[in-house]
Amino acid sequence: MNDWYQVHDTAENLVRDVSLLENAREITSGSPSEVYNLAADMGGMGFIEIHKAECMLSVLTSIHVLMAARDEGVERYFYSSSACVYAADKQTDADVIALKEEDAYPAMPEDGYGWEKLFSERMARHFREDYGMATRVGRYHNVYGPYGTWEGGREKAPAAICRKVITAALTGRNEIEIWGDGEQTRSFMYVDDCVKGSMLLARGEFVEPLNIGSSEMVTINELVDTAEQIAGITLRRAYNLDAPKGVRGRNSDNTLIQKEFGWEPSTRLRDGLELTYRWIYDQVAAELKT
């Protein structure tokens, strides 16, 4: 449990439901200089496609933490949005043109989760315009890494693929199930890059929503290839064409973050996935022993 909550001795660690205004006020009390709102009820495509109401209820967290930060006079407020805000009609081809920040409008985001994120972006904007808050919005593209969710239905594709490959290797089952035909495309951002990009944006002077994501686009089949290479095995692939697949293609255009900050996420998928794989390996191995 300590791994999940990332409890650190040098920090005050609170576990609260910040969808409730009184809890949001408690965690922002004392006028911290920065608030990073990273909270949302979400998961991989298998979760958000069938829990749309739950995902949209995250708006309570988004609004109440924003209100509490305003009332406490917080200097900087960072909101973690998502690439799910982007218009679906720009993501229908696997060979997708990388998404620019302007592609969120005219609005047609991912149903449920994407609408909540887009609405909360607008709330952050209007609190900046109406109350003078220094709000910043980062649009995350598929964050992954060690210590993240790796089972149970909320895990993202990198963790799910690692778990499946590891389970196949440890049990001797020479097969992996892949959702869709495996040709859908994505980019995946390692958590260290996510942290750095978030802090650059939060402490900078750029006020519009900004992509924080890797521009290294791969197919899901290529993601499986990489996990297999790390494991040193090759598996039979069973394609589940009825499983949730999300948009056909999505990638991050990093022109703007390069212009504003001279930086973009740079961790290669192979490197980040190996670190993630090693951590998930230990979790799967321990679970199989019980």
* Token pair of 249 as six digits: 């293609």
DSSP 86: S
Q: Is 196 left (phi over 0), alpha (psi -120 to 50) or beta?
A: alpha
Q: What angle do CA 118, 124, 129 make, to 5 degrees?
A: 125
Residues 6 or more apart in contact with residue 243 via CB below 8 angstroms: 46, 177, 179, 180
Contact in structure between 154 and 235 (CB atoms under 8 Å): no
Contact in structure between 16 and 26 (CB atoms under 8 Å): yes
Active-site residue, selected from the candidate residues 77, 113, 140, 281: 113
86 a catalytic residue: no
Question: Burial code of 53-73, b = ≥16 C-beta within 10 A, e = fewer?
Answer: eebbebbbbbbbbbbbbbebe
The helix/strand/coil state of 180 is: coil
Active centre residues (catalytic):
113
